[in-house]
Amino acid sequence: MFLTGLAALAVVPTLPTAARDLDGVSLFPLVAGCFVAASLLGGVLGGHWADSAGAQRPLAAGMALAVATLLASAASTSIWQLAAGRFLDGLAGGMVAVAINTAIGQAYPDRLRPRVLALMSACWIVPSLVGPPLAGLVAQWWSWRAVFLGLAALTLLPALAVVAVLRGRSWRAAPAPSGDRPSRPALVIATAVSVGAALGQYGASGWDLRHLLFAAGGLALLVVFAPRLLPPGTWRAARGLPATVLLRGLSSGVFFTLEALVPLMLVTDRDVAPVVTGLAFTGAAVAWAASSWVQGRLLERVPRHRLVVAGALVLAAAVAIAAVGTLPAMPAPLAASAMVVAAIGMGLLAPSLTVLSLSHAPPGRQGCAGSAMQTTQNLGQITVLGVSSALFNACLGSGASDFTGYGAAFGLLLAPCVLATVLAARTRSH
C-alpha cells in the first residue's frame, strides 16, 4: 500500500503537465479514465482470483505489473501512448487494491477491520508528504518523464521482494458453502465493461457526432455488461450490499472528478506551477488519512451509515468550494482547498462503506464483495467524470468561458452527494 500510494500521489499531479506537453489537453479525460477503466478490469479479475487461490497471488502479480506500467508511461511520445501506459497501471492497481481488501476480510475479525483499514490509509501519509511536491519540482525543473522513471527505479526491488516473500503463501478464507459459490465471470464481460468505460471517456472529450457515437457505444456496453459484475439490485439501491456498492460509486465519482478537473483548471487556466498542485494532493492525502484515523479510533462506536451521511455532506461542501473557486476574482488556492475538504469526507465515508460491505458479504464471498466495490467505484468515477466533462465541453461549444464550464461541471457534482446522503440509511448493518 505504501508503494501504491507513492506511485499514485506522484504520478497524478504530473498528468496535466504531461497532457499539455503532448498536445492532448482535450483528451485528458481519456488519460484519467483509462486508469479507472483498467482498474475495473483488474478489480474483477483480482477479486475472483483472490477467492479461488488466496489474496497473495493477485497482489504479487499487480506489483510486478506496476513496474512495467511506469516504464511504458515514461516513454510516451503521444497522448495515446500515455493513455495506454495509464491503462496498464490501472490494471495493476485494481488487482492490488482488491487483493489488500480481500486479505483484510480473510485474515481479520470484524472488530479489527476498521483499524486495519485506518492503518492502510496511514500508509499514504509519508507518500503524501513527499510524493506530490517532489514530483511537482521534478516536473517543473526537469521533466515529467523523470517522475515515471524514478518511480520505476524505486519500485523495482521492493516489487521483486514482495513477489518472493508471498510466493507459495496463502491466507485463504474457508470456502463458501456448496450452492453459494460464485461463478467466475467470463473475461469477455470484464473486458467489455473496461472497453465501454474507455469509449465513454473518449466520447466525453469532444462535442461532435464522432464523439457522441463513441459515447453511445461505450454506454451500450456498460448497460449490457456492467450489471453482471454487480450485486442484484445495485441500480435501485436495494438494502444491504447493493446500496453500499452504489454509494461507493457515487462518492468516488465526486472525489475523482474533483481530483481530475481542479488540477487541470489550475495548470491550464490559472498557470499554477506543478509543485502547487502537488501540494494540494499532499494536503488531500494527509486529510484523508487523518479523517480515516478518526473514524477508526474516535468514532468506531458510531453507526457506519451515519458516518456515510457525514462524509457525503462534507463532499457537498467541497463541491461548493470548487465551484466558487472557478470565479476569476477568487484566489487559486481556494479551488485547490476543495480537494482537501473532499478528502476529509472520503476518509469518513470510504472505510465505513468498506466495513459495511464486508459485514453484508456472505461467508467466503469477501473477494466478490471487494470486487463489486472496486467495480462500482470505477464505474462511478468514469460516469461522473464523463458527464461532468461532457457538460464542460458543451458549455465551451456554446461560447461560454472556461470558468463557466468548470463551474457547471462542479455544480453537477452536488447531485451524487445528495443521493448518497438520502440513500445512506439503506446501507445499515443489522
What are the pLDDT digits (tens) for 15-37? 888 888 888 877 787 787 788 77
Q: 180 pLDDT exceeds 50?
A: no
Q: How far apart are the first and last CA of the chain?
A: 31
- Which letter does DSSP use for residue 19 in this model? H
Q: How far, CA to CA in Å, does 298 sit from each of 114, 116, 339?
A: 11, 14, 23
Work out how many domains the chain is built from and give that number: 1
Grid cell digits, residue 217: 457505444
Q: What is the pLDDT of residue 424?
A: 92
pLDDT for 343-363, tens place per residue? Answer: 999 999 998 998 888 888 777
Q: 408 pLDDT exceeds 80?
A: yes
What is the C-alpha to C-alpha distance for residues 8 and 315, in angstroms, rounded to an integer? Answer: 21
pLDDT for 227-242, tens place per residue? Answer: 887 888 888 888 888 9
Angle CA 61–54–355, to nearest 5: 100
Residue 186: band (very low, low, confident or very high) from pLDDT cuts 50, 70, 90: low
CB 325 within 8 A of CB 384: no
Q: Which long-range contacts (CB under 8 A, 24 or more apart) does 173-177 make?
A: 173/105, 173/106, 173/363, 173/364, 173/366, 174/363, 174/364, 175/364, 176/362, 176/363, 176/364, 176/365, 177/363, 177/364
Cα 47 → chain centroid:
16
Residue 187: band (very low, low, confident or very high) from pLDDT cuts 50, 70, 90: low
To the nearest whole percent, how much of the chain has pLDDT over 70? 93
Q: 198 pLDDT exceeds 60?
A: yes
Residue 178: band (very low, low, confident or very high) from pLDDT cuts 50, 70, 90: very low
Residue 7: band (very low, low, confident or very high) from pLDDT cuts 50, 70, 90: confident
Q: What is the pLDDT of residue 364?
A: 65
Range of 223's domain?
2-427
Grid cell digits, residue 277: 498542485
pLDDT for 60-97, tens place per residue? Answer: 888 888 888 888 899 998 988 998 888 888 888 888 87
The pLDDT of 208-229, averaged and rounded, is 86
Q: What is the pLDDT of residue 158?
A: 75
CB 288 within 8 A of CB 346: yes
Q: 182 pLDDT exceeds 60?
A: no
Most confident segment among 280-289, 308-317, 399-408: 308-317
What is the C-alpha to C-alpha distance for residues 26 and 275, in angstroms, rounded to an integer? Answer: 22
What is the C-alpha to C-alpha distance for residues 342 and 131, in angstroms, rounded to an integer? Answer: 19
- CATH number for position 220: 1.20.1250.20
DSSP labels, 380-424: HHHHHHHHHHHHHHHHHHTT--HHHHHHHHHHHTHHHHHHHHHHG
Q: Of the ranges 87-101, 112-126, 215-229, which one carries the lowest mean pLDDT score?
A: 112-126
Residue 179: band (very low, low, confident or very high) from pLDDT cuts 50, 70, 90: very low
